[in-house]
Amino acid sequence: MSIDRSRTPRPLRDQRPRGAHPSPDWVFTQQTPPPQVNWLGWPLAVWLGLVAVATLLLIGLLAQRQIRRTLVPLEQLTAGTRSLAAGQIDARVNVHSKDEFGTLAGAFNDMAAKLGAQFHALEGLAAIDRDILASAPMDRLAQRVLDQLKALYPEADAVIVWQQNSSVFRRAILWHSGKAGKTVFDVRDVACDATAQAQWSLLQQDETVPVNAVANGNLHAMPCLRSLMPPAADWMALFPLRQNQSVRALLAIGLPAAPAPGTLQAAAELRDRLAVAFAAKDRESALIHQATHDSLTGLINRHGLLEQLDALLAPGHTTRSLALLYIDLDNFKEVNDSRGHAAGDALLRQASERLRARVQADALVARQGGDEFTVVLPQADAATAQAVAETAIRAMSEPFHLPGGDFQVGASVGIALCPQHARERDELLRCADIALYAAKAYGRGRAQLFNPKLGTEARALAALLADLRLALERGEFAVFYQPRVRASDGVVSSAEALIRWQHPQRGLLFPDAFVPLAESSGLIAPIGHWILGAACQQMADWWRSGIDVPRVSVNVSPVQLTSGDLVGQVRAALEHSGIAPSALELEITESLLVDDNQSTFAQLATLREMGVTIALDDFGTGYSSMAALRKLPIDVMKIDRSFVIDLETDTSALPSVRAIVALAQAAQLHLVAEGVETEAQASMLRELGCHELQGYLYSRPVASPQFLQVPGLRHRVPAA
């Protein structure tokens, strides 16, 4: 053991035991050598440190990259999901990795694209539905559908064709113009011939065919359909829209190639939307038609007439003038009363057909209600309006063929002109109404053009009508009598009862002043009934007083005949007065010959069988013939005064009267000439063979007390 004293010693405590044997002290030292540096180990340590640091850095970078590869796609997917949930249908995630995140991102984008397509499709359908509910025009709806088709099938061209009327189709088309990315929408009318229309009706089901099949006419489609499509289409998908067993429209899609099965389902759904649109249009049109047209005749009603007049009279309209005709049927109430409402409806339908057939093509014909019709003539003057009015009167005067026999009513017309009489709708209607009222008051069966004086006259007629309604109740009517004498000896052989009205302010009024008004207002029936009773009662009084008047003649209005109760009225008057039926003669007008009314003929036949004499008044003023005379059960014919007055001055009058006499003789009728004013006329009529004469030559119509002073009146012993 060596001890290096050069090193710093470290004394150690003497550890010897203390004892009996003393010895010198030992000294021990401990020495630690200084560290020695190994210069060969330093590079390894540095390298190992660098490796450790680099490893740590690499691990950090790899961890960061891995974290980014995980978190970034997740963040994008999360953001895309939130955007999609917020309604951003075009939201997409930009992840292109080939791992699970890329697969998930691709699935998300596909889902978003499909949702977007479905959303846009639903949005398009919703827009179409809104247009349908808003009753948008078909052109706008067609464009909506075509835009939707273009969004669904970008490479396709599309066309919608629907039928406007029997010969015109409406075509809406959306097609590529040839310029990059540009499409053209076009809508117009297309004429198709009868062959095209016939083949159009054969479209039965959805079909997808090559275009040349349509061009060659091998398809059940219009040959003109190919010309409606753009030339670039090689295939055509046809979607016919059928309603009520007929083709209403056609949706056609032009495609560059044959479509895959099931790819055109959306087009079929759009066709169904079109079907809803057309059905809605039909319902709307039906409701509008129902609101503006008369259900009985098919003519426009008052509401529709007012709308049309507003349009025609609107500022800036091309129509600068028009004529408005109010047409009212005469005696229509009697049709309903005698034949029932079914016959009245049939007459109104026939009247509407006649009016439509006999007015100009651009005329507007309306039924305002009841038996009133209106005709509007654009660009018409007074002469044109008058001519149309006369045509309408002739049309309404022809017999109407009704259940139970023909019936004649006639018509009156009031005419107003724009702008001569009025420029506003309501004022124009008022003017026509005043003119119609005047036409009916002046005798019916005539046309009256409005003039400002008619307003005053109409008010006067209204006042007269008010008085007329009370005249019977007030006892203001009186019966005057005009004698008829035998042509051979001048003896009074009968008397004609004629009504007069003792008006409290206007004095004595003759029939011409109020009978037309009574007929137009329906008051003629009770007035006629009163005259019949009064005349029969006067005959009974004369008979009891010894006045020898063999027969009394009473005029019967057509209204009384068509009412169906004339037989009962006559029987009641005869029974109440006690006179014989042979003492009563009823005069009817010649118009009944034109009105081939079996009910009227039956009533007359019944009265004749009872013993009442039937006379045909005013013969020669109508359209009578031998055939017509044979139909009517009459005993007496009266020559109208218009022929008698001209016997001395008009050379053509004598042949006319001679022909009437010959006709009466052939029919074995008793002949009476009225209107005799001179002895020369009486002599000529006597020579022609007339049996009785009547006129101012013998007496004017007089009241019953004055009738007793008539020359030629015979008396006899009064009845007990």
Under 8 Å between Cβ of 359 and 391: yes
Span 52-74, average pLDDT = 73
**pLDDT of the residue at 285:** 82
**pLDDT of the residue at 1:** 45
**pLDDT of the residue at 469:** 86
Instruction: Specify the DSSP class assigned to residue 99.
Output: S
Helix, coil or strand: residue 273: helix
User: What is d(CA 536, CA 523) in angstroms, rounded to the nearest whole number?
Assistant: 21
Pairing between strand 584-589 and 552-555?
A: parallel
User: What is d(CA 715, CA 706) in angstroms, rounded to the nearest whole number?
Assistant: 15
In this structure, the number of other CB atoms found within 10 A of the CB of residue 534 comes to 19
Contacts of 544 (CB under 8 A, 6+ apart): 718, 719
State yes or no: pLDDT of 99 exceeds 80.
Answer: no
Helix, coil or strand: residue 673: strand
Least confident of 274-283, 371-380, 639-648: 274-283
Domains of the chain and any CATH numbers: 58-134 (no CATH), 140-282 (3.30.450.40), 293-451 (3.30.70.270), 466-700 (3.20.20.450)
State yes or no: pLDDT of 46 exceeds 80.
Answer: no
Helix, coil or strand: residue 251: strand
For 413-459, give the secondary structure using H, E and C: EEEEEECCCCCCHHHHHHHHHHHHHHHHHCCCCCEEECCCHHHHHHH
State yes or no: pLDDT of 26 exceeds 80.
Answer: no
**pLDDT of the residue at 213:** 55
Contacts of 252 (CB under 8 A, 6+ apart): 158, 159, 160, 161, 225, 228, 229, 236, 237, 238, 239
Using a pLDDT cut of 90, give the percent of the chain over it: 32
Q: In which region does residue 507 sit, left (phi positive, over 0), alpha (psi from -120 to 50) or beta (all else)?
A: left
**pLDDT of the residue at 594:** 56
Please tell me which residue, 544 or 14, carries the higher pLDDT value. Answer: 544
**pLDDT of the residue at 355:** 94
**pLDDT of the residue at 178:** 52
Around 136, how many Cα atoms within 13 Å sit in the side-chain half-sphere?
Answer: 18
State yes or no: pLDDT of 42 exceeds 80.
Answer: no
**pLDDT of the residue at 220:** 41
**pLDDT of the residue at 218:** 45
**pLDDT of the residue at 534:** 96
| pLDDT, tens digit, 9 for 90 and up, residues 650-697 | 888 888 889 889 988 888 899 999 999 999 999 999 999 999 999 999
Calculate the average pLDDT of the chain.
81
Span 142-147, average pLDDT = 82
**Token pair listed for 665:** 């003789």
- Read off the pTM: 0.56
- Rounded to the nearest angstrom, the gap between the alpha carbon of residue 642 and the centroid of all alpha carbons in its chain is 48
In the beta sheet, which residues pair with residue 322?
A: 378, 418
Please tell me which residue, 362 or 120, carries the higher pLDDT value. Answer: 362
**pLDDT of the residue at 217:** 47
In this structure, the number of other CB atoms found within 10 A of the CB of residue 189 comes to 10
Please tell me which residue, 245 or 423, carries the higher pLDDT value. Answer: 423
Total count of residues recorded for the chain: 720
Span 701-711, average pLDDT = 93
Under 8 Å between Cβ of 280 and 132: yes
| pLDDT, tens digit, 9 for 90 and up, residues 438-479 | 888 776 788 999 988 877 777 787 788 888 989 988 999 999
**Token pair listed for 349:** 């339908």
Q: Which pLDDT band holds residue 95 (cuts at 50, 70, 90)?
A: low
| pLDDT, tens digit, 9 for 90 and up, residues 484-518 | 999 999 999 999 999 999 999 999 999 988 988 88
Span 600-604, average pLDDT = 85
Most confident of 110-114, 265-269, 597-601: 265-269
In the beta sheet, which residues pair with residue 401?
A: 406
**pLDDT of the residue at 221:** 46
Span 33-52, average pLDDT = 68
Residue 452: is the preceding peptide bond cis (ω within 30°)?
no
Span 562-567, average pLDDT = 78
State yes or no: pLDDT of 66 exceeds 80.
Answer: no
User: What is d(CA 454, CA 460) in angstroms, rounded to the nearest whole number?
Assistant: 9
| pLDDT, tens digit, 9 for 90 and up, residues 183-238 | 677 777 777 666 666 666 666 667 666 665 554 444 444 545 555 555 566 777 88
| pLDDT, tens digit, 9 for 90 and up, residues 150-193 | 878 877 788 888 777 766 777 777 766 555 556 677 777 777 66
